[in-house]
Structure 1
Amino acid sequence: MGMVDTPGEGRGRKAGKRKNRRIGFRLDMTPMVDVAFLLLTFFMLTTTFSKSNTMEINIPPERGEVKVAGSNILTLRIPGDGMAYCSLGDLRPKRIPLYEEEDDSRLSLSGELRSLLRQQTTVNSKLVIVVKIGEKARYKQLVDIIDELNLMKIDRFSLDDYTPQDDLEIRKAV
């Protein structure tokens, strides 16, 4: 600490020196630490509770092909034109609208498609639903269909490639 010398006083003399009192200064860091830990806790909890939106898909083991009777297969074709084409076995596909508008102008799967899936699965407990999505179809359509199958607790479904043969089947639709 620097001192100011007054005239007439010697340097080494202690007599006559007036000792300056230093005013104490103390910074309380407690509120800042409290805020830091509060923010740290907030960010830790919010990142822990946010879960990623993933869908669990179980892939069967590679044992070869599984034989299923043709009458137990419901093929659901989605070419991307806003319609779904459902056919049971080798029957002609039935044309059903994929979406319907709800009250607040949101789209949801059509009630006709839901009722057809529910009816067919209650009639035949061995039914396997094969979903085929065309190149022009949107990924959201596939996710909506899989979500609807999960909501209806239908766990016997399969995803398959959309082929030119499927386009020919769609042209035969009723």
Structure 2
Amino acid sequence: MLKKGKRRVAIRIDMTPMVDIAFLLLIFYMSTTTFKPPEVKSVSLVPSHSQVKLPEKNIINVTVTAEDSIFIEYIDTKTEIVEGKEVTIPQRFYRYAPIERFNYELVDVRRQLGLNVELVVKADRDASFGVMRKLMRTMQEVNINQFSLVTELEMG
């Protein structure tokens, strides 16, 4: 005798809830993530044709605003032991440095980070020449003779 086999019922998994959750997570992460840390002061840069990539680590950012205020920004890493493992935690610091105390602040930051850091100067196009001259002279006094100047890329 011939036996008829049972008919198999096709199983269909509804993917709609999973897609909904994926998009909700995507929207949540996009709305809560800060992609670039906010700057202390906004600076309109000087145009230039040069393209040199700045290093990602071991840098000290010196920002000169249009009001001739000077800010020092740097990232320092701190090592802590969490659950028996050493974890390095990067911390971003901002310091206001008046031109009269800039050399002391710069020496203090270099002492914290080490001497193998690169200095990056980001100056506003409306910053006064006198402040920039004092800044350069101060950097020479603390034996910093090489630095990078951040400019805006000019198209054309």
State the TM-score, normalized to the length of structure 2.
Answer: 0.47
Of structures 1 and 2, the one scoring higher in RCO (CA 8 A, sep 6+) is 2
The structure with the larger Rg is: 1
Q: Counting helix residues as a fraction of each chain, which structure ranks higher?
A: 1
